[in-house]
Amino acid sequence: MSDDSAARGKRPTAILVAGLVGFWPVLFILIMWALTQWGGAPGEFSLAPRETTRNVVVLIVALAATLVLDVGTVVVGVRALKRPFSRGRAVAGVVLAGVGALAILLLLGAGIALSIIFGRGGDGKLSLEERVKKCRSNQEKIAIMLGPEMWGFDHPDARPEDLKELDLSPEGDLVKPEDGPAYTTDPAVFDCPADDDEGDVDYAVSITPEGEIEVRCIDPAGIKEGHNP
């Protein structure tokens, strides 16, 4: 076999390998879906990372690089299909890369859709129903941050009463702690959507007789609108 023939024979294999590498977003989506379905009992499992900034940056860079790889693989693979050398591997690589690229676009589309759904309207205000939904979502997120997989994991000797003393303001102990990790980079989680003051404390913690963590809205406007379940 000549050197040129050997090179052409290796090209479909390289396309297949690139397609396999670019297929990881599909596996990522499937794994995340599986974790949301069978991740464990509420309060015992959380998909929220303890430090989100680095994770988000890494994910965005990885998706961008993979999208470039997928598009390049599809372009090179389509050209390789015109040659009869090992066409099956080239086809497999193109298909995998194409599916991977579609998965990335799906993730981006879902992110944009969620930001629109949960974002503010054109007049800068949420409807009453949207405010209630967002405030209850905030309560659930705060309860997860205080649970055994996050704040409770880092403070195993803490008493349940200690949770009531935490500063749950947007600049408080879970966002900008004096020591230890931050549990979110989104301070808006601690701001009731019906409240005009973005810096005060809008949520409080209570412990049920069963030992479960409950978070409730204590903002007067939020209470009046029925934000608490």
Residue range 170-186, pLDDT digits in tens: 999 999 888 778 888 88
203, 192 contact by CB (below 8 A): yes
- Residue-level pLDDT at 48: 44
- Residue-level pLDDT at 221: 93
207, 160 contact by CB (below 8 A): yes
- Residue-level pLDDT at 116: 66
Considering 45-54, 78-87, 135-144, the range whose residues carry the highest mean pLDDT is 135-144
**What is the mean pLDDT of the segment spanning 59-79?**
84
- Kindly state the percentage of the chain with pLDDT values over 70: 80
**What is the mean pLDDT of the segment spanning 80-99?**
77
Considering 119-123, 150-154, 157-161, 201-205, the range whose residues carry the highest mean pLDDT is 201-205
Question: How far is C-alpha 61 from the chain's CA centre?
Answer: 15
| Structure token pair of residue 198 | 């973005």
**What is the mean pLDDT of the segment spanning 86-102?**
82
- Whether pTM > 0.75 for this model: the answer is no
- Residue-level pLDDT at 1: 44
User: Average per-residue pLDDT in the chain?
Assistant: 80
C-beta pairs of 196-199 under 8 Å, 24+ apart in sequence: 196/221, 198/170, 199/169, 199/170, 199/171
Interacting residues of 63 by C-beta distance below 8 A, sequence separation 6+:
25, 104, 107, 108
Least trusted range by pLDDT, from 40-54, 63-77, 191-205: 40-54
